[in-house]
């Protein structure tokens, strides 16, 4: 089980207590600089770590003074994702006392390794470079990994131009399952990334647990919000409530003050008050930092219309609560019509059994597949909102430089968090069915997914409308069912090569993916590509299309009956029945 960002090796999630010797087939190393400047060490749980920076260094030039010593995680992303996939059991874990319990990864007894390819972002090109990503793939394949968890993405380019596409193809060709995140550019259509048919592409959805904080107004109206604020206000005490615009600094614009940007709030107007900040432009936690710097005692973060009902639990530096767009609209109206508007914010509490759940995250990138609408992406959805996992102990919990707090565990949201949930399930399936191909495992996960929530109704998106397969793919993952799917839709390297041929690849282009000469077939029908989902982008009225799939029985001899649910405008028949 691997990640591509970095790791905090001292985390209890990577303790090797109870682990046996490192498997003899493992060929990886614990790579550090000559003097081990970072004091980085592997063990029988974290059995390998490498770091790649030559592509980054070539673009860095003389623009910065950055040292490269190890795969140590300095921002928390890598530790969080790797522990979500394969972290060991840790009792009494919590985020500032919230959500206290035992935390573990999806495959808690898996061996893990880290391949760090991302560094502090540069002005041009970011912090993760193609050369480093491809080098990490090559090393991971050579080291003998079984699962690659890649919470990483970029612009959608032709597969030939993408190190993720090329590296993941070679990994899958070696029997390695590659899992990637679909991206956080939702709910915009065509925003999904990691579109390769050989990759498992994961969307993000909520779970039935929330970190809740209530906002009570002077008129006794109560609103349920989300937060992970460590500090709290005096219970049942009310404070003056104002819009951030009413705390605007003299030289600040109203639009910048409304979203609580740096330097836009006047301490003389904000001190001792609860400030309402609008979501957008700057980080959610930065808004709290600005409110605190201005002397506010609390903050209510309200969504803009685009983010709607999606509220997230962030570790704010002051008492805070995140409300929906609808609730925020009520608050703005309340302060406009009330002579002395007042409010209180309750302390954070952990709630279980939340309904409905799961709900698709607004930020989760959506299909259709911009490169090839015949391949449905994303493939699957998994928990990716308010996920508690290991964290780097040199990183700020709120990701703000002024926040000097430290935490061994933190809650993060994103498709980077949902991706390792699926990776953990893949690890379990691999251990039970080591002979299954990457495509068979992918099929098992997809065909056993569900499209209903815990109320028995169809999955919703954050606007509380029915979500579509362009949001959730085949549905929400069900780990226990995925280990026994009965039938699978299998694919191999030849199928993927033929798929590339269909995209017009030939000669030197194909050799990037397949090291031997490859002759494309004279005929290839994309509709018959044995993918676990069927997507027909240009289906014309009163026309019919034949689609072929081949099923492989991976369970005991059984009889299967076809059940069809389609819109009234479409007729579907299946043979054999």
Which comes out higher in pLDDT, residue 34 or 195? 195
How large is the average pLDDT for residues 423-427?
97
Q: Grade residue 352 by pLDDT with cuts at 50, 70 and 90.
A: very high
Pick the CATH number of 209-351 from 1.10.40.30, 3.40.50.2300, 3.50.30.30, 3.40.50.300: 3.50.30.30
Model pLDDT for residues 529-543, shown as the tens digit of each residue? 999 999 999 888 888
State which fold the 2-204+358-482 domain adopts: Rossmann fold (3.40.50)
pLDDT at 271: 96
pLDDT at 566: 84
- Residue 178 and residue 171 in contact, taking contact as beta carbons nearer than 8 Å: yes
Q: How would you write 453-501 as a 3-class SS string? A: CCCCCECECCCCCECCHHHHCCCECCHHHHCCCCEEECCCHHHHHHHHH
pLDDT at 194: 97
Mean pLDDT of the chain: 94
Q: Distance (Å, rounded) from C-alpha 437 to C-alpha 554?
A: 11
* Count of other CB atoms within 10 angstroms of residue 413: 22
Q: What percent of the chain has pLDDT over 70?
A: 98
pLDDT at 553: 96
pLDDT at 379: 98
- Residue 165 and residue 159 in contact, taking contact as beta carbons nearer than 8 Å: yes
Q: Distance (Å, rounded) from C-alpha 496 to C-alpha 442?
A: 14
Tell me the HSE value of 221 on the side-chain side, using a 13 A CA sphere.
12
pLDDT at 439: 98
3-state secondary structure at position 209: strand
How large is the average pLDDT for residues 505-514?
93
Q: Grade residue 63 by pLDDT with cuts at 50, 70 and 90.
A: low
Q: Grade residue 153 by pLDDT with cuts at 50, 70 and 90.
A: confident
How large is the average pLDDT for residues 471-476?
98
Beta-bridged to residue 551, according to DSSP, are 489
Beta strand residue intervals within 82-151, DSSP E: 90-95, 98-103, 112-116, 118-122, 126-128, 147-150
Q: Which helix (H) or strand (E) holds 417?
A: helix 415-432
Residue 20: is its pLDDT beyond 90? Answer: yes
Residue 1: is its pLDDT beyond 90? Answer: no
How large is the average pLDDT for residues 371-376?
96
Beta-bridged to residue 179, according to DSSP, are 149, 200
Residue 4: is its pLDDT beyond 70? Answer: no
In the chain, domain spans: 2-204+358-482, 209-351
Tell me the HSE value of 532 on the side-chain side, using a 13 A CA sphere.
31
From residue 278, how far is each of 120, 305, 324, 341 by CA, in Å? 28, 10, 10, 18
Q: Distance (Å, rounded) from C-alpha 312 to C-alpha 559?
A: 45
Q: Which of 323, 326, 258, 324 is nearest to 291 (CA)?
A: 258
pLDDT at 57: 87
Same fold: 2-204+358-482 with 209-351:
no
DSSP for residue 97: T
Sign of CA dihedral 289, 291, 294, 297: negative
How large is the average pLDDT for residues 68-94?
94
- Residue 73 and residue 93 in contact, taking contact as beta carbons nearer than 8 Å: no
How large is the average pLDDT for residues 142-156?
93
- Residue 449 and residue 474 in contact, taking contact as beta carbons nearer than 8 Å: yes
Q: Grade residue 120 by pLDDT with cuts at 50, 70 and 90.
A: confident
3-state secondary structure at position 378: coil
Model pLDDT for residues 383-419, shown as the tens digit of each residue? 999 999 999 999 999 888 888 899 999 999 999 999 9
Sign of CA dihedral 242, 244, 248, 249: positive
Q: Which of 190, 199, 146, 208 is nearest to 168 (CA)?
A: 199
What's this model's pTM, rounded to 2 decimal places? 0.94
How large is the average pLDDT for residues 140-165?
94
How large is the average pLDDT for residues 36-57?
93
CA torsion, points 293, 298, 304, 308, in degrees to nearest 10? 140
Residue 69: is its pLDDT beyond 80? Answer: yes
pLDDT at 154: 82
Q: Grade residue 151 by pLDDT with cuts at 50, 70 and 90.
A: very high
pLDDT at 546: 92
Q: Distance (Å, rounded) from C-alpha 393 to C-alpha 405?
A: 9
pLDDT at 564: 86
Q: Which of 162-166, 254-258, 308-312 has the lowest mean pLDDT?
A: 308-312
How large is the average pLDDT for residues 91-111?
95
Q: Distance (Å, rounded) from C-alpha 512 to C-alpha 515?
A: 7
pLDDT at 407: 93
Q: Grade residue 3 by pLDDT with cuts at 50, 70 and 90.
A: low
Q: Grade residue 229 by pLDDT with cuts at 50, 70 and 90.
A: very high
């Amino acid at each position: 089980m691997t990640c591509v960002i970095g790791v905090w090796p001292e985390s209890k999630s990577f303790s090797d207590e109870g682990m046996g010797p490192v498997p003899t087939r493992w060929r990886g190393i614990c790579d550090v600089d000559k003097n081990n400047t970072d004091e980085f060490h592997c063990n029988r749980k974290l059995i390998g770590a490498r770091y790649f920076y030559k592509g980054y260094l070539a673009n860095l030039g003389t623009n910065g003074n950055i040292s490269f010593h190890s795969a140590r995680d300095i921002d928390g992303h890598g530790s969080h994702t790797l522990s979500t996939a394969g972290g060991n059991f840790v009792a009494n874990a919590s985020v500032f006392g919230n959500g206290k319990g035992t935390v573990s990864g999806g495959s808690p007894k898996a061996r893990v390794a880290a391949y760090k390819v991302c560094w502090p972002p540069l002005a041009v090109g970011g912090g993760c470079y193609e050369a480093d990503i491809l080098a990490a793939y090559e090393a991971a394949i050579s080291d003998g990994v079984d699962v690659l968890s890649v919470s990483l993405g970029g612009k959608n380019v032709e597969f030939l131009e993408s190190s993720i596409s090329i590296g993941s193809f070679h990994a899958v060709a070696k029997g390695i399952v590659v899992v990637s995140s679909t991206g956080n550019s939702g709910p915009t259509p065509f925003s999904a990334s990691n579109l390769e048919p050989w990759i498992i592409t994961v969307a993000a959805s909520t779970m039935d647990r929330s970190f809740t904080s209530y906002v009570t107004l002077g008129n006794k109206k109560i609103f349920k919000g989300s937060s992970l604020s460590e500090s709290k206000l005096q219970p049942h005490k009310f404070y003056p409530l104002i819009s951030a615009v009413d705390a605007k600094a003299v030289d600040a614009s109203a639009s910048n003050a409304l979203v609580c940007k740096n330097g836009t709030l006047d301490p003389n107007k904000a001190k001792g008050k609860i400030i309402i900040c609008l979501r957008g432009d700057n980080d959610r936690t930065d808004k709290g930092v600005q409110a605190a710097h201005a002397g506010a005692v609390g903050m209510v973060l309200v969504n803009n219309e685009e983010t709607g009902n999606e509220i997230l639990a962030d570790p704010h530096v002051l008492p805070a609560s995140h409300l929906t767009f609808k609730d925020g609209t009520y608050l703005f109206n309340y302060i406009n019509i009330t002579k002395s508007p007042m409010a209180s914010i309750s302390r954070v509490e952990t709630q279980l059994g939340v309904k409905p759940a799961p709900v698709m995250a607004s930020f989760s990138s959506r299909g259709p597949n911009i490169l090839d609408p015949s391949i449905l992406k994303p493939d699957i959805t998994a928990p990716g909102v308010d996920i508690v996992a290991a964290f780097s102990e040199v990183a700020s919990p709120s990701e703000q430089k002024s926040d000097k707090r430290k935490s061994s565990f933190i809650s993060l949201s994103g498709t980077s968090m949902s991706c390792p949930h699926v990776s953990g399930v893949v690890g379990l399936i691999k251990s039970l069915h080591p002979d299954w191909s990457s495509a068979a495992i992918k099929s098992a996960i997809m065909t056993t997914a569900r499209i209903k929530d815990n109320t028995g109704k169809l999955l919703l998106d954050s606007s509380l409308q029915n979500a579509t397969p362009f949001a959730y793919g085949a549905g929400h993952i069900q780990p226990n069912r995925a280990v026994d799917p009965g039938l699978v839709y299998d694919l191999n390297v030849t199928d993927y090569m033929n798929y590339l041929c269909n995209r017009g690849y030939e000669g030197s282009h194909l050799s990037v993916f397949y090291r031997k000469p490859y002759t494309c077939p004279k005929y290839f029908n994309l509709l018959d590509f044995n993918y676990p989902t069927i997507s027909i982008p240009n289906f014309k009225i009163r026309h019919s299309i034949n689609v072929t799939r081949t099923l492989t029985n991976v369970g005991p001899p059984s009889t299967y009956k076809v059940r069809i649910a389609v819109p009234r405008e479409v007729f579907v028949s299946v043979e054999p029945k």
